[in-house]
Structure 1
Amino acid sequence: FLSNHKINIVMLIFAYILSYASFIGMNTTYMIQPSSSQSYNIFFYIFFRRQFFVLLNTFVLFLVARFLLAVTRHYWFSVLITGFIQIVITVANHLKIIFRDEPIIPGDLAMIKAWKNLLGMMGTTVIIATIVLVVLVIFLIVYLEKKHPYAFHMSLKKSVIWVLVTVIFFSGTVVMNHDGSYVNALMRNLGDEPYFFNQLYGAKVNGPILQFLNNIDISIMDEPENYSKETMEKIYKKYAKESKKINAKRDNDWNDQIVIMGLAESFADPYRIPELTLSQDPIPYIRNLMKSTTSGLMFSTGYGGGTANMEYMALTGLNQGFFSAALTPYTQLVTGQNNAYAFSRLFNQAVAIHPYIGVYYSRQTVYDNFGFDKFMYLGSEYPIKHQYSIDRSPYLSDETAFANTIDEIIDAKGSKLINLVTMQNHLPYDNNYYNGKEKYAASGNAVNDSKVKAMVEEYVMGLHHTDVAVKNFIEKLDNINKPVTFVFYGDHLPGIYWNTKNNTVLHQTDYFIYSNKYAREHLGMTAYDQYKLVSPTDFMALVQKQTSTKTTPYTTLLEKVLDELPVITTKAAAGSEEDTDAAMMNDEGELVKYKDLTSSQKKLYKEYKLVQYDMTAGKNYLENMHFTEGGV
């Protein structure tokens, strides 16, 4: 029996070893916590508690190997290529988990076109290891196929059967998330839980392959109760009426106003990290500026990454918490929309500036669908004119970003929205880019590892350079005789604080909203300090309130959400297991349950969700009512 079936037996053993190793690779420690009160050794937990799913992943790898064998008729090629693919998948997931606390999901595949830059961010060690692995696999395939060819016989009929079985199996994964499908029912009965609210935990207990398959063909968001044209008409009339009342008390419209949505890559005050001490404050100017402006903390849905999700929320007012947990709006939603809504449509002109390559998150298509007039990035038809870097950093500096922004402000004719996405403080933080890091020596339990300490000091030095650049930028804004409002916000924390367990702190970045001297003198600007914690979706509402600018029915709704609801975010970021689509947090970063909302808050929450569904996944009834343009 062993002799007759050794092809399959060897393949299964090989596939099982790789499958089990992939589960272990989804962890960065030797312990796993299925709940707050339980903790297990990862090796034993995977072997005894998740054995079925190890075997399921083994079956998937076995199918791939048999498929290749049926097509190529080369045994060693089929086995080693399958192994190579699985090793690459495991390592890539492990690296993403280290830096971003999440595994690879289908939406990430849009980044493949920028593979050269991705490898550059991973460092030379990963590149060298990848090259060595590729060379080793090629050598082994050639050597074994020539010196130790494995003779076997497979009829055409069996080959066709194996191909069909593999194709049918993987075709079934397309409907794994479709309620009511046989595949969905089978997988749920087998115990497959996608853990959309916590992708990292899903990868740990399901393995990287199954968790990836669990995220294929994700719906945008569930249809809310009572969604209909009649319901949306009622919402439109309500907020059109409220918009008219608000506008009667406000003096300004967008006219010649310039608004900058300034996303500061990985900017977050390190002083909030528990058990971390710095010898000197790296951001004294920004810290002082926040005392006299509308400012506070922004709750980010990402950690170590997720920039485009913050950008999407800031530009649209639509909340990630309502979407499917696996959805990346830029790559999986906006790219398929015609005339997708963004605040850019409120202005005469809209410009996006990103001093890096433009392919990440499909930004070229996204900005076009948002109605932007131009997108400035490296290699674009609209060049990044001013280019400065700091010491040995390969990234263009914040000074670069602000210098190009000043040009766009000066060139503005009428109102303009500028979406600025900086790059200076992007990972990696272990390549010794900056001089003078010793000024910001880090100490404490959060950096008790020498490698982490070095990365924190490198990152903090970058914050210092941001602080200097912001100071110079603000001074230039105050010398411009146009009303300019600058929204400055960090998109997420860097993925370097591995020793802290405070989930809330790891999702809090800093923001401020600054109106220049001309705006303060001509718009009757007011600063707000009561918004201690906000969502990126709140920024436009805050800008309107600060500049006393007239609203649309949609932005009236957003102002109401800002004033009357807790911060809405994703369940994964908030660490919530409540049976709702989104999580909510108060100003202190504490979870707020839906059942504890007042009746008026629940109604507002439902209206917000209905509006988002209509604008993204529904029939877009509100577009014909001009909900985002003006009131009655």
Structure 2
Amino acid sequence: MVASRRKLLYQGLIALPVLLATAMVTKSGLSTTHGLTFALLWLIKNAGSLWVILFPILIGHNQSTTLSYGQKATLTGLNLGLLLINQVLPSSPSAEHFVVANIFLAWLSNTLLIWFKTPLQTWLHQFSFKQRRCSLWGISGLLIGLILVGHTTWLGFSQGTSWLWFSFLFAWGDYLAQAKLNWWHNHRFILGCLVILSFLGMSLVTWMSQNPVAYSPHQGLVLTFHYANALPIFTPLTLTTAFLISVNLPTRFEPSPTFLISGNLLLTWLAIPNLLFLLHRLPFILLVVTYYLLWANLSWLILQFGNQLKCPKFTFNWLKHLQPWIIPVLIFGITIWGLTIISFGFLWDWRLPMLQWVVIHQAKLVTINCLIVVAFAGLLMALTNRWWLSSGLTILVYAGWLVASGLKITARQEPILPTDLSTLSAPQEMLSMVNPLILISAGIIIIVVLIGLIWLERYWGPTRRFNWFTRILSLILAGGYLLSFTHINHPNSLSHHYVDQAGDIPYFYAQLRGAKVNGTLLQFMNNVDVTVMDKQAGYSKHQMEVIENRYLIAAQQLNLHRSHRHLGKQRLVFILSESFANPRRVPGLEVHPNPTPYLDKLKATTPSGLMLSTGYGGGTANMEYQALTGLSVVNFSPTLPTPYSQLVPFQHHPVTINQLFTYSAGIHPFTANLYNRKEDYQKFGFNSFYYLGSRYHLRYHHHLGTSPRIDDWSAYQQILWQLQKKHGNQFIQVATMQNHMPYNNYYHPNHFQVSGSTAQGDDHTAIQTYTQGVNYTDQALQKFIGRLQKSSQPTTVVWYGDHLPGIYHQVSMQSHGLVMHETDYFIYSNPAAQRLNHSRVTKTKVVSPNEFPAMALAQMDMQVTPYYALLTKVHEQLPAITLTLNQVSHSNRIHENTAELIDQHGHQVQHLSKAQRQLYHDYQLVQYDLTAGHHYLLHDRFIKTIPPRVGR
């Protein structure tokens, strides 16, 4: 009796801090909890998470004690009753009382394990101890390998979504009950320290995981707090902590029926968060007493567990073969991981939240960067069979790579890319751009490191050698891993699935962003597998001469009906209206009133229709590229989703429509860091480029409401100013920014109502904000066209939306892919241009952006060169060409190049006529020649020179 009272007293003393902390949090709410109270509750939550993994191991560890059928029935009935109460109770107002995620399946699985413990153990014991040991260690090794290398899980590990996983833990407990674990008996202090450190590390990792950083491409990283969320059951550290505790269990650990009952009731308590909401209404003292009753079983369990800790012996004989390698490999791995994290720190300007985000949420990508370095070390080891030399040189080369990356990023805001390797052929010029002090310091470091490596090889090298089989295996595995990245951008390759599952987004349009998210090494590898365009059948110099003559004749025939051989004083303006598309066409969306009354009126009196975008929610530069060049991204290789970043910087003479004009200007009321626009516009031959931060200052930069974007009227005013500034013919390329995401309720008041199945939840505010922005664009467009109407300068405007905004999450792309890729466009000529020109565009209802150059020249009544004669034939005789319409943006990732052909009625064309097939093949041959081939047609006679006019 005295012993029982003393045990109850100890139990109460142990439980008291837990009860007080939990009661305080229940009364105050976790969202306002901080300091010691928060720390105590956080430890409670982690202890609950740990218990979910530990409990099935403890059930399996028990070899004889079982519950009677009456006890099982009573326990099950009580559990079901509590769960039923949980269903009828009012829901908790927030997630702040949840402890463990996916707890219901854990409770169900462990309840079944209690019921069927004996038959399961009987079945397991049919196998020999050695078979069970090999199977369990093998499956565990496979799980770890899948996580580290494949970035995937098995048996529901990491989510706790599979009863197989709980059965696996049960089998581990059964194995440990019969294993001889002598090592732990001899190292009790080490075990205790490891358990404490592992538990604290688990608590720290889950705390960091509950404080995620949301990445927004145009807003940077946004820190959000979710301390109140339920903890994930399975993390590697949680599993490690449970294993460290369970291996120290006595072989004859026989928990009583009370142990199993109390443990299962604890799982039930974790599974009924709504009960806590009910208890929240109790007075504080009564709440403490209630929590005492709930936690008493756990306190008693801790005492029982501590009383029975008798450590048997265990030896790690199998580790003796690996002993010479453990410390060197550990040092190498930590060094590589540390250098990788340091590189991310540099990329993110040493901002702690960003580093936290990288370490926790980008762990898979960090691992890939490290594995690339490890593979390089494996190659050196296979070739030299010298560990210290191989690992040391690898660290030296990797550190040099990171330094070089940092220098290039500092100088050019771009990481090292495969094309930069060409500079190795001119080392003197390359080194001349580096500070001599850096070169001297690097030289000294290299010499010191090499001396140290030679010393290590002499004294500790002989014990660390591979045999021939291991060397060959290392060569195959390391070489195969590195070579796999040569197919990283092939959609169906294993390497693509590998990095895609890890969360790799190449960000070809913003290489520095790609390096920040993926790491410099992986971003380099993303750019290794790039093929501009597959070689077209029949491509040869002779065939290209045939095509040149064919479209020379076509140009002469077209020019019979065109008035102007020279541009004179005509002006052409291409306006890409960011994310513009009338929301009233979106399925399941009702918008009142009409946000685009002026645009609808204008389209009724001008050549206009719908443009097929190759992206949804993104891909602006692809539409801009197609409109300027007349080339379709559909024809490019899937490994080249963003020509602006992957192709144009490496072309010597890209072909664009602005090159036909005496003067051309670019306008983009934003920074020009994305899509490599600064370099591309220079390659295109633009005389000036206006953007935020350029030497050509934007004169107008007004914002509407609280929007961070420069409004469209400012962009239009900049156009009007530019038209007045220069005399003679002129081309202006504009990409606006007003309607770019995000859409955070910027405009007050908002005059539009949106409703329907599409405008649900969080999408409602975004759609309403976007609709008001579209209306502001409509008003700005009316003022802009009104000014052009009065101008004496002949001006033609090609105006189009580049893609729909990515805010219609309720619309099925499979069912409504076509309409979700249709944007508005028109081609307008002011009265001065109409008096001058007589021809008009014919096919207008459904077009692709690559048709705009030919359409603009037709609207301007301009004679054409053979190249633009080809584009005119493509516009007039082929359906609109676009990428598959059941996907979203194609510019961030590689994609399947599945062409879709859409006729003027919006129907998909399944078959082309023989003449159409010939024309399309000619178009593909010319595109291949100008971008990836031998450039047989890249000369003025085909591109710029209008052929002599023939008689009618």
TM range (shorter): 0.7 to 0.9
Query: Alignment partner for residue 71 of structure 1, among 332, 353, 357?
Result: 332
Query: Alignment partner for residue 441 of structure 1, among 739, 748, 753?
Result: 753
Partner Cα separation in structure 2 for residue 67 and residue 313 of structure 1: 54
SS at match of 2:938: helix
1:478 CA drift (Å):
1.4
- State the Cα deviation string for residues 288-318 of structure 1 (Å, max 9, x = none): 1000001000000000000000000000000
- State the Cα deviation string for residues 516-550 of structure 1 (Å, max 9, x = none): 1111122235364x421100011111112222111
Name the structure 2 match of 1:614: 929
Residues 14 and 335 (structure 1), Cα distance of their counterparts in 2 relative to 1, 3 Å cut: same
Name the structure 1 match of 2:49: none
Name the structure 1 match of 2:74: none
Root mean square deviation, CA, Å: 4.3
Name the structure 1 match of 2:817: 503
Q: How does 1:577-616 map to 2 (within 5 A)?
A: 582-593=899-910, 596-616=911-931
1:461 CA drift (Å):
0.7
1:590 CA drift (Å):
2.8
Q: Please, which runs of 5 or more residues in structure 1 have no aligned partner?
A: 31-42, 48-57, 59-65, 93-109, 116-152, 179-183, 195-201
Question: Contact 2:634–2:897 at 8 Å: present in 1 too?
Answer: no
Partner Cα separation in structure 2 for residue 256 and residue 420 of structure 1: 20
Q: How does 1:157-556 map to 2 (within 5 A)?
A: 168-169=479-480, 171-176=482-487, 192=494, 208-209=503-504, 216-252=528-564, 253-327=566-640, 328-429=642-743, 431-437=744-750, 439-449=751-761, 451-501=762-812, 502-524=816-838, 526=840, 528=842, 530-556=843-869
Partner Cα separation in structure 2 for residue 338 and residue 589 of structure 1: 38
388-397 vs 542-551, which moves further: 542-551
1:409 CA drift (Å):
0.6
Question: Contact 2:151–2:501 at 8 Å: present in 1 too?
Answer: no
1:72 CA drift (Å):
5.1
Partner Cα separation in structure 2 for residue 440 and residue 521 of structure 1: 39
Residues 89 and 343 (structure 1), Cα distance of their counterparts in 2 relative to 1, 3 Å cut: farther
Count residues with an aligned counterpart. Answer: 518
Partner Cα separation in structure 2 for residue 625 and residue 389 of structure 1: 43
Residues 322 and 381 (structure 1), Cα distance of their counterparts in 2 relative to 1, 3 Å cut: same
Q: How does 1:61-100 map to 2 (within 5 A)?
A: 69=330, 71=332, 73=334, 84=358, 87-88=361-362
Partner Cα separation in structure 2 for residue 226 and residue 562 of structure 1: 23
Partner Cα separation in structure 2 for residue 24 and residue 419 of structure 1: 53
1:71 CA drift (Å):
2.9
Residues 347 and 79 (structure 1), Cα distance of their counterparts in 2 relative to 1, 3 Å cut: closer
Partner Cα separation in structure 2 for residue 277 and residue 24 of structure 1: 44
Residues 432 and 247 (structure 1), Cα distance of their counterparts in 2 relative to 1, 3 Å cut: same
Q: Please, which runs of 5 or more residues in structure 2 have no aligned partner?
A: 1-132, 166-235, 237-326, 345-356, 367-408, 416-459, 507-521, 891-895, 948-952
Partner Cα separation in structure 2 for residue 244 and residue 535 of structure 1: 25
Name the structure 1 match of 2:944: 629
Name the structure 1 match of 2:148: 15
The answer to whether residue 877 in structure 2 is matched with residue 564 in structure 1 is yes
1:84 CA drift (Å):
4.0
Matched residue type, 2:923: Y
SS at match of 1:233: helix
> RCO (CA 8 Å, sep 6+): is it higher in 1 or 2?
1
SS at match of 1:208: coil
Question: Contact 1:173–1:214 at 8 Å: present in 2 too?
Answer: no
1:498 CA drift (Å):
1.0
- State the Cα deviation string for residues 42-83 of structure 1 (Å, max 9, x = none): x89xx9xxxxxxxxxx9xxxxxxx999553546996999999
Partner Cα separation in structure 2 for residue 265 and residue 308 of structure 1: 10
Residues 214 and 407 (structure 1), Cα distance of their counterparts in 2 relative to 1, 3 Å cut: closer
SS at match of 2:362: helix
1:407 CA drift (Å):
1.1
1:15 CA drift (Å):
3.2
SS at match of 1:263: strand
1:88 CA drift (Å):
3.0
Question: Contact 1:486–1:513 at 8 Å: present in 2 too?
Answer: yes
1:417 CA drift (Å):
1.0
Q: Which has the higher helix share?
A: 2
Residues 73 and 262 (structure 1), Cα distance of their counterparts in 2 relative to 1, 3 Å cut: closer
Question: Contact 1:321–1:571 at 8 Å: present in 2 too?
Answer: no
Partner Cα separation in structure 1 for residue 647 and residue 568 of structure 2: 31
1:571 CA drift (Å):
3.3
Partner Cα separation in structure 1 for residue 157 and residue 579 of structure 2: 29
Matched residue type, 1:491: D
Residues 320 and 70 (structure 1), Cα distance of their counterparts in 2 relative to 1, 3 Å cut: farther
Partner Cα separation in structure 2 for residue 629 and residue 615 of structure 1: 14
1:326 CA drift (Å):
3.3
Matched residue type, 1:300: S
Residues 447 and 478 (structure 1), Cα distance of their counterparts in 2 relative to 1, 3 Å cut: same
1:164 CA drift (Å):
8.0
1:393 CA drift (Å):
0.7
Sequence identity percentage: 33
Residues 533 and 207 (structure 1), Cα distance of their counterparts in 2 relative to 1, 3 Å cut: farther
1:14 CA drift (Å):
5.2
Question: Contact 1:425–1:459 at 8 Å: present in 2 too?
Answer: yes
- State the Cα deviation string for residues 262-282 of structure 1 (Å, max 9, x = none): 000000011111110012111
With the length of structure 2 as denominator, give the TM-score of the two structures.
0.49
Matched residue type, 1:469: A
1:193 CA drift (Å):
8.9
1:285 CA drift (Å):
0.4
Matched residue type, 1:466: T
Matched residue type, 1:276: L
Question: Contact 1:515–1:525 at 8 Å: present in 2 too?
Answer: no
1:588 CA drift (Å):
3.4
Residues 556 and 76 (structure 1), Cα distance of their counterparts in 2 relative to 1, 3 Å cut: closer
- State the Cα deviation string for residues 450-482 of structure 1 (Å, max 9, x = none): x10111001001001100110000011112211
Residues 491 and 76 (structure 1), Cα distance of their counterparts in 2 relative to 1, 3 Å cut: closer
SS at match of 1:554: helix
Residues 335 and 572 (structure 1), Cα distance of their counterparts in 2 relative to 1, 3 Å cut: farther
Question: Contact 1:398–1:466 at 8 Å: present in 2 too?
Answer: yes
- State the Cα deviation string for residues 238-279 of structure 1 (Å, max 9, x = none): 111121222232112322111111000000011111110012
Matched residue type, 1:208: G
1:379 CA drift (Å):
0.5
Name the structure 2 match of 1:135: none
Partner Cα separation in structure 2 for residue 469 and residue 478 of structure 1: 14
Question: Contact 1:568–1:582 at 8 Å: present in 2 too?
Answer: yes
Question: Contact 1:114–1:359 at 8 Å: present in 2 too?
Answer: no
- State the Cα deviation string for residues 593-613 of structure 1 (Å, max 9, x = none): 3xx211101100100000100
Question: Contact 1:401–1:422 at 8 Å: present in 2 too?
Answer: yes
